Amino acid sequence: MKFRFLLWALGLLMVRASRNNPEFQQQLADKALTFQLQTADGKIARHYIVHEQRVRSVAGMVEAPAFAIAFKDAAYGFATLQATNKQLAFMQGIQNKDIQIKGNPALVIWFQDLTRYLKPRKKG
């Protein structure tokens, strides 16, 4: 349940950033694609549609995403996406075959870079 909620919250953050964050919008320029995050068995999945510098989030799987990141299970996916050093967690997961990448790996790197704009703003 935590993984499903995290995927939903990630979508909400991306939707907001695509409306309000010029740096995030710049990363979406010239992109029109759908990608998804899921468990390996496909029981939990959410896909994200990038179109005209906006993001939409939809529950479930989509046929033929530009890329998909499949985690071995929901607990592992949650832990990886919440890791302090996400890049290291992803690299280890891919090496151990606990994370499978389907589709264009360059877009996975683009997505990981995109997530740095989703950190909550510090109140000052």
Cα distance between residue 57 and residue 96, in whole Å: 29
In this structure, what CATH number is given to the domain that contains residue 17?
Answer: 3.30.1050.10
- Report yes or no on 123 lying in a domain: no
Q: What is the pLDDT of residues 82-121, one digit of tens each?
A: 999 988 999 999 999 999 999 999 999 999 889 888 876 5
DSSP labels, 3-27: HHHHHHHHHHHHHHHHHH-HHHHHH
- Number of domains into which the chain is organized: 1
**Residue 30 is inside which H or E element, if any?**
none
Per-residue b or e along 73-90, where b marks 16 or more CB atoms closer than 10 Å to that residue's CB? ebebbbebbeeeeeeebb
- Report yes or no on 59 lying in a domain: yes
Q: What is the pLDDT of residues 36-77, one digit of tens each?
A: 999 999 999 999 999 999 999 999 999 999 999 999 999 999
Structural domain for 65, as ranges:
2-118
Please tell me the pTM assigned to this model: 0.90
Cα distance between residue 84 and residue 82, in whole Å: 7
What CA–CA distances, in Å, run from 94 to 33, 87, 103?
Answer: 23, 11, 14
